[in-house]
Each structure stands twice: as C-alpha cells, then as structure tokens.
Amino acid sequence: MTATRVLVLNSGSSSVKYQLLDMRDSSRLAVGLVERIGEETSRLKHTPLTGGGATSREREEPIADHEAALKAVAEELATDGLGLDSPELAAIGHRVVHGGLKFTEPTVITDEVLAEIQRLVPVAPLHNPANITGIRTAQVLRPDLPQVAVFDTAFHTTMPESAARYAMDVKTADEHRVRRYGFHGTSHAYVSREMAKLLDKAPEDVNVIVLHLGNGASASAVRGGQCVDTSMGLTPLEGLVMGTRSGDMDPAVIFHLARVGGMSIDEIDVLLNKKSGLIGLCGDNDMREIRRRIDEGDKEAALAFDIYVHRLKKYIGAYYAVLGRVDAIAFTAGVGENAAPVREAAVAGLEELGLAVDGELNSVRSDEARLISPEYARVAVAVVPTDEELEIATQTFALVRDRNA
C-alpha cells in the first residue's frame, strides 16, 4: 500500500492544531485543536471529515503536556480508523516558525536539524520552543516516520540583502543574527502561486503583492515567484498594524518608555506584542466588531480602522515601487478574505497606479479565489483564501515522495 497521508502539526506553547490530509487529492480526513495544554481546563476538539457530515467531538479533561496532547489526538484519530500507526501515513509535517538563514526549503528533521532549530530560539523565543516540543513528541509516537519541518521564514530567504539588512552596525547585527527574516512564508508562497493560477499564468511570469491580513498581518512583494521584500522583520512585530501588535514605529519609542515611562523591557515587549495594534487603539482586535462599532458611529473604532488602512496603503505603495511592475494584489487570511471594507479602503484613490475594486465583486462572499477588480483595471485585485496546512502537507509530501522515489 502506498502511503499518501500527511499529518500536519502546528504546535504552540499551550496548543496543538492538527490536520490529517490525503495527498492523492489533497482532501482533509480530520482536523482538530488541543487548547490550554498544562491547565485544568484543557480541551480537545476533533472533527473527522471522512463520513459525510462533519460531527465534532470534544474532550474536556486536564492534558498535562504536549505528549499527552498528541496521545489524545492519536486516540481520536484511531476512533475514526485513521490511527497514526497506519501504514498509509507517509510523514508528519511540522510548522516551524523560525528557520533563520539556513533553512531555505522544507527539511527532513534529523538531530542536527533539531539542534539548529534550537540554536534559533534566541531569535524566536515565543515560537521555536513549542515547535521543538511538538517535533520531539511526534518522534516518540512514530520514530520510524519521516518528520519534516516547514519554516515560516523559508519563502523569504530569497530577499536581497538590501531588503533583509537593517541599517545598523554590521558586526553587531551579525553577532546577534539581527536582520529581517519575515514570517507567514507558507501563506505568501501558497497565495502568490494561487494568484498566478487565477490569472492563468506561470508564477515566474507574475509580480504580486500579497497582503496576509489575519490577527497577525504581513505584506510581501513577490517577483516571478520569489519574495523580494516582506513587512515582518527579526520578529513578527514589524510592519503592518495587526490585531494586537503595533507594527512599524520609531525604535526610540522603546527607549522613551523605558527611560521616561519607567517600564521594563518585558513590560514593553508585552505592550507592543499583546496590547497594541487594533486592540491598543480601540479595545477590540476583531475586525467584525470594529466594523460594527463604526456603523454605530464609534469614533475610536473609526480611527483605529483608518490607522490600519493607512499603513496598509503605505505598504502597497512601497511594494509597488519595489516591484516596478505589479500584475496583481492578493488579499488573504481572516481580514483579507472577509472584510470587504478593508479591501475597498486599501486601494481607494490608487487609480493612477492601475488599481481599483469593483463594489459588487468585492461584496460577494465565497471561499473561492476570485477577482474583485473591474475589467478595465491594469492590475488585478483578488481575494485568494490561504491554506497554510495544505501548503505544509504539499511541501512535506513532495519531500518524502522524492526521497522514496
């Protein structure tokens, strides 16, 4: 029997998201989430998708650690006849947030690879440790199976030095690996390719600006399938206004808050990562709630929206200039796929750049990739739903299939 299934694991510090896919037709066999690992109130939500109508099962019981979480997931999958001991399972694909400069491609995990992911912990202290725990746990469960790391940073390693380096002392930067790495890479890779498909062109023939607008948000400039610039930097804090992150600001704000505001570095870290962006500006980070408040005349919400869109527009302009010629702009992720007012406002007034949005097309709700620009517009504007799990599974399967070929 040929093994065609891939389990995708996205391990956070207290959560594990997973999907089991069959790569013969890229279909999902099961999806699920374990939350609040290590707390009394842990929860596992599992949805098998094989038997027609999807019925979720939930378990609410203390799940002590990632190993217990994966064991519980394995039990749920086994209940549906999809056990991890199945010979049909080809590999486990792990989302790994930071791959530094070394990992430019998906990589089969060996002890050396794991050690390198560990060495990158100082530049990704929130993410890489959880990813490592997920990998180690999965290795215990199926030591014989290839485990593949798919890095959020990999797609951005093609950025030229002019875009990747900060203008600071080179020696200090290199000593501490300070440079722009970029994140959401699997999404930017997937969406830029899907955008080319939508235009019926090869990825090599199109220049695309991808706007991944979720709770975290980033923009990228993709020339002929290769990333040439992206808005996130050393960490996912740089760039666009996000749900809870500030995005770009004068770095001296940090000195000011420390010296004049008496705040500690850790307090400022939490402020800029968790209490800024939309939530800092208006108390809400969900674009649905912000739009509802705007409709009721809420001025604070309206200003937060304007600041969000202003920054977005600046990046569209900047990446237009970086690319020189733009064929398409692709909106994706929670806000990008669902918030028509954000899309409309982001390109409003940019007709001189060949950019426009058709009001009617923009208001259509659909899960499909679709154009929203009028026929006459020089640049295609589109909504392209992202699918990071499918991209991780596809990259993982391509790697293990090639190895077995």
Summarize as ranges the residues that interact with ligand AMP (CB under 6 A): 214-215, 243, 285-288, 333-335, 338-339
- Beta carbon of residue 317, minimum distance to ligand AMP (angstroms, whole number): 23
Burial-class residue 174 by CB neighbours within 10 Å (0-12, 13-18, 19+).
exposed
Q: Considering the complex, state which of residue 100 and residue 214 has its C-beta at the smaller distance from ligand AMP.
A: 214
Sheet (strand 217-223) strand order: 226-230, 217-223, 207-213, 328-332, 380-383, 370-371
- The annotation status of 195 as a binding-site residue, yes or no, is no
- Beta carbon of residue 365, minimum distance to ligand AMP (angstroms, whole number): 8
Using the Cα atoms of residue 283, residue 285, residue 286 and residue 288 in order, give the sign of their dihedral: positive
Cα–Cα distance for residue pair 211/208, rounded to 1 Å: 10
**Catalytic residue, candidates 152, 229, 327, 387:** 152
- Beta carbon of residue 291, minimum distance to ligand AMP (angstroms, whole number): 7
Chain centroid, CA 115 distance in Å: 24
- The annotation status of 337 as a binding-site residue, yes or no, is yes
Whats the size of the chain, residue-wise?
405
- The annotation status of 150 as a binding-site residue, yes or no, is no
HSE value, Cβ hemisphere, 13 Å, CA-based, for 268: 15
- The annotation status of 263 as a binding-site residue, yes or no, is no
Q: Considering the complex, state which of residue 138 and residue 340 has its C-beta at the smaller distance from ligand AMP.
A: 340
- The annotation status of 10 as a binding-site residue, yes or no, is yes
**Token digits of residue 94:** 């792990």
Cα–Cα distance for residue pair 124/98, rounded to 1 Å: 6
- The annotation status of 289 as a binding-site residue, yes or no, is no
Question: Can 152 be counted among the known catalytic residues?
Answer: yes
In degrees rounded to 5, what are phi and psi of residue 301?
Answer: -65, -40
- Beta carbon of residue 98, minimum distance to ligand AMP (angstroms, whole number): 19
- Beta carbon of residue 181, minimum distance to ligand AMP (angstroms, whole number): 19
- Beta carbon of residue 8, minimum distance to ligand AMP (angstroms, whole number): 16
Q: Considering the complex, state which of residue 240 and residue 326 has its C-beta at the smaller distance from ligand AMP.
A: 240
Q: Considering the complex, state which of residue 147 and residue 285 has its C-beta at the smaller distance from ligand AMP.
A: 285
Q: Considering the complex, state which of residue 135 and residue 312 has its C-beta at the smaller distance from ligand AMP.
A: 312
| SS3 at position 178 | coil
Which residue has its beta carbon closest to ligand AMP? 334
| SS3 at position 52 | coil
Chain position carrying tokens 């399972």: 89
- The annotation status of 17 as a binding-site residue, yes or no, is yes
Q: Which of 199, 200, 230, 188 is nearest to 323 (CA)?
A: 230
| Residue 241 DSSP symbol | -
Using DSSP bridges, classify how beta strands 16-22 and 5-11 pair: parallel, antiparallel or unpaired: antiparallel
Q: Considering the complex, state which of residue 198 and residue 217 has its C-beta at the smaller distance from ligand AMP.
A: 217
Give the residue numbers annotated as catalytic, written as ranges.
152
Residue positions forming the annotated binding site for Mg(2+) = 10, 388
Residue positions forming the annotated binding site = 10, 17, 95, 212-216, 286-288, 334-338, 388
